[in-house]
Structure formats: C-alpha cells, structure tokens
Amino acid sequence: MRTDGLNFDNIPPLSIPYGFFATAPLFGVLAGLVLLFQPQALTARWEPAALALVHLLTLGFAAQIMLGALCQVMPVVSSQPIPLSRPQALLVRGCISIGTLLLSLTFLFPGPILFSLTLSAFIFGFGLFIFRLLQALIKIRPAGHTLVAIRLAAFCLLITLLAGVILLWWRSSPQTAPLAPILTTDQHALWGIQGWGLLLVVGVSFQVIPMFHVAPDFPARVQRWLPAALLLSLLLGTALDGIAAVLMMALSKLLVLGYCALAAHHLARRRRKLLDYTIRFWQLALGCIALSMLVNLATLGWPELPNRLPLAELSAILFGFGGLLAVIFGMLQKIVPFLLYLHLQRQCLTQPEKLLTLPNMKQLISTDRSKRQWWLHCTALCGLLIALWLPILTPLAALLLIADFVWLGWTLHQAFALYRQHLN
C-alpha cells in the first residue's frame, strides 16, 4: 500500500464514516423488496415503483456510502477534515434515511404533505452536509486533482438535488410549483449518475487505485483536465439543442470510455499481482460502464432503437448496478478493514504490546467473504440483465439483489464486531 503524500492525523471518529456504511445496505434490501413485490419496476421506467427502486439505490445506498467515504477521504488527501461533528453526522444520516423513505412513498402516493416532509428532510440532511463540505473545500489551498474533482462532483450534486426537488414538486402538486422543471427527468438522472456519481468515482480513483493497489499514478494531464472536460461536455449537452447537444453528449460518452480504458490499463500494471476481489470489482465496473457508454452512443446514433429494445433500462443497470455500485462494493472491501485497523492501531499508542494481538486487514474482511460478495454481485447483475428480456425471472433477480445487500451488511457487521472485540 502506498501512503506517500497522505495524512492520517485528522481522520474523523470511526462512528462518522462507519455509520453511513452500516446504514446503506438496508436501503439495498428495501430496493430488492420493492422489485420482488412490484416486478414491473424493472422494465417500466416511469412507474412509481421503478422511481422508488432507483432512489432507494441511489440516495439510500450509493449517496450514503459516498458521503461516508468523503468524510474519510477529505482529511487524508488534504489534511482538511469536513467539520461535521458526531451529532451532526447522525442528523445528516437520519434525515437522508427518512427523506429517502418518504420520497419512495411520495412516488407511490403523490401529494403535498408527503412532498413537504420529504423536502424538509433532504434540506436538513443534504443541506447540512453540503454546507460543511463547502466549508472544508474553500479552506484548501492549493487543491489537488482529487479535490478539484470532488468540488465539481459537489456542484453536480447541487444541480441534481435542485432539479429533483422541482420535478418532484411538479409531480406532487403542480399547481403550487413556483418554477418549471430546469431539467428533464432523463437529464436529472444524467447529472446525478454521470455528474455527481461518476465524477466522484473518477476523482477518488486517482488516489485509491495507486494507493491500495500499488499501481502507477494517472498522468497529470488526465487528472487535471478529465473531470473538467466531463463536466463541461455534460453541461453543454444539457444546455444546447439539436445536433450540437448530440455531439456534446457523444463527446462525454467517449471521454468516459477513455477513462475506463486508462483505469483498466493502470490496474493491469499494478505491482501487486495477488488475488484481490477489489480489483475484480473495479474491472467489472469499468467494463460495465464502458458497455453502458457504447449503448448510449448507439442510442444517440439511432434514436429509434429504444423503441425496439429496452436500451435505457439496459444502460441504467450496466452503469448503475454493474458500474458505480460495483465500485462501491469493491472499495468497501478495502476501506472498511483499513479504517478499523487504523483506529485499532491508534488505541494501542499507550499500550504498544497490544499491537501484536491486532487482527490484520485480511482477518477483518477475509478474502473468502470478498469472493462471495463478488459472486453474489455478479449473479445479481446477470439476474437483472436476463430479467429485462425474461420478466418472469424478475422475482429471482430481486431475491439475488436482496442476498447481495444482506451479505454486504453482514460482512460490515462482522468486521465491526471483530473490531469491538479487540478494542475491549
């Protein structure tokens, strides 16, 4: 593991990032239950159940993991922690969790009361976190490439949330909505997944791929210009019309394809060639994201194709579940044991003899556990893809999805239990 240039002096209390990590799998299980009892959610993308399913995965699971990771990554790469206290982190986590549940209900039972409650929860949750994140980002001078990507991702998150609030307002109470939607539903999803989600993954990958896998650093020019180019092409593709918009969107897809190829090349050049399921998750994610971009390019070139094939759903599953969520699943196999071991080490500063009794990272989350997680995730992904063409298998895909998140939650729980055992 490479730790040069990193600072571990200002890391937050373990309860802050781990709280987000432990909460998130519950929403993955809920998403699987929605799919189990509402199988049409997989193929009817505008069904209320489909909207609830997507937001349980993106807000309830992915966003909570990303917020927890940011709490940990920021002080390590910049020496500037996010000024979020334990009570504030608990408030953020609680509000986002409640808001996500209320949002799912709002899709199923639209109305002004549920909308108001959802909006209030998200304003308190995301508002407080973004405010604290911006406080930290403003103080950092100069900002490294990872931090620039985080800033751009935070901007995309703001746009996504604002557009989502207005879209939900129009859905719940159109007569009281003060503004017309600033983005279409497809554009709202694009800014959330390819803007906030992908930019954050790209920025963090500049740091964690060399750090955890002893791989070469990404070229400085790529780190400097790729996040800005991704954001600019997304912005122009949204703002322009006609052929100019199509060209900008095509450029954004090509940029993502280029990133996937470069990241895969760097992983292949890593010095540690041992069996590592985090590497396999990265390889799966990069492959799925690349396939999703190819599907999107085909759709841009032949707009009539989605009328014949479920390409929008195919692209969403590949990019979301096979791509971004695979990165999250894989990184948790590394980040969680690293965090637990780091905090155990700190507890031994006054009793150095206890260092000899500490579990190593492979004991906190074993290779066997990571292997099972890998196969569960791959099986769930295949189940979802097959169910697009064979809807009768959707309940089976839902059960695989539930099993995937249950195993993740159990793995995190067992790792923390081992930590507590050695802490005492």
For residue 170, the model assigns a pLDDT of 75
Q: Name the more confident of 223 and 5.
A: 223
User: Per-residue pLDDT tens for 278-300?
Assistant: 899 999 999 999 999 999 898 88
Give the pLDDT confidence of 11-54 residue by residue, as tens digits. Answer: 888 889 999 999 999 999 999 999 999 999 888 877 889 999 99
**Phi and psi for 310 in degrees, rounded to 5?**
-80, 60
Query: Worst-scoring range by mean pLDDT, 79-83, 94-98, 182-186, 272-276?
Result: 182-186
Band (9; pLDDT cuts 50, 70, 90): confident
Q: Nearest to residue 164, comparing CAs of 118, 128, 197? A: 118
* Count of C-beta atoms within a 10 Å radius of residue 162: 15
Residue 328's pLDDT band, with cuts at 50, 70 and 90, is very high
pLDDT of residue 306: 67
Q: Which of 145-154, 171-180, 307-316 shows the lowest mean pLDDT across its residues?
A: 171-180
State how far the Cα of 266 lies from the Cα of 210, in Å rounded to an integer.
Answer: 8
Q: Which residue has the higher pLDDT, 1 or 243?
A: 243
pLDDT over 70 at 143, yes or no: no
Q: Which tokens in the block code for residue 379?
A: 């099986």
Section 133-140 average pLDDT:
83
pTM flag (> 0.95): no
pLDDT at 113: 85
Token representation of residue 267: 């992983």
pLDDT digit string, tens, across residues 188-232: 888 888 888 899 889 888 888 887 777 788 888 999 999 999 999
Is the distance from CB of 69 to CB of 204 less than 8 angstroms?
yes
Q: Looking at residue 26, what is its pLDDT?
A: 96
The span from the CA of 177 to the CA of 166, in Å, is: 7
Instruction: Summarize the confidence of residues 3-15 as an average pLDDT.
Output: 72
Q: Could you give the percent of the chain with pLDDT greater than 70?
A: 92
pLDDT above 60: residue 312: yes
- Judged against a pLDDT cut of 80, whether residue 274 lies above it is answered with no
| Segment 157-184, tens digit of pLDDT | 888 888 888 887 777 666 666 655 555 7
Percent of residues, the chain, with pLDDT higher than 90 = 42
**Cis peptide, bond prior to residue 142, ω within 30 of zero:** yes
Q: Is the pLDDT of residue 1 over 70?
A: no
Q: What integer pLDDT is reported at residue 318 of this predicted model? A: 95
The mean pLDDT of the chain is 86
pLDDT in tens, 385-408: 999 999 999 999 999 999 999 999
For the chain, state the CA radius of gyration. Answer: 21
Residue type, 160: T
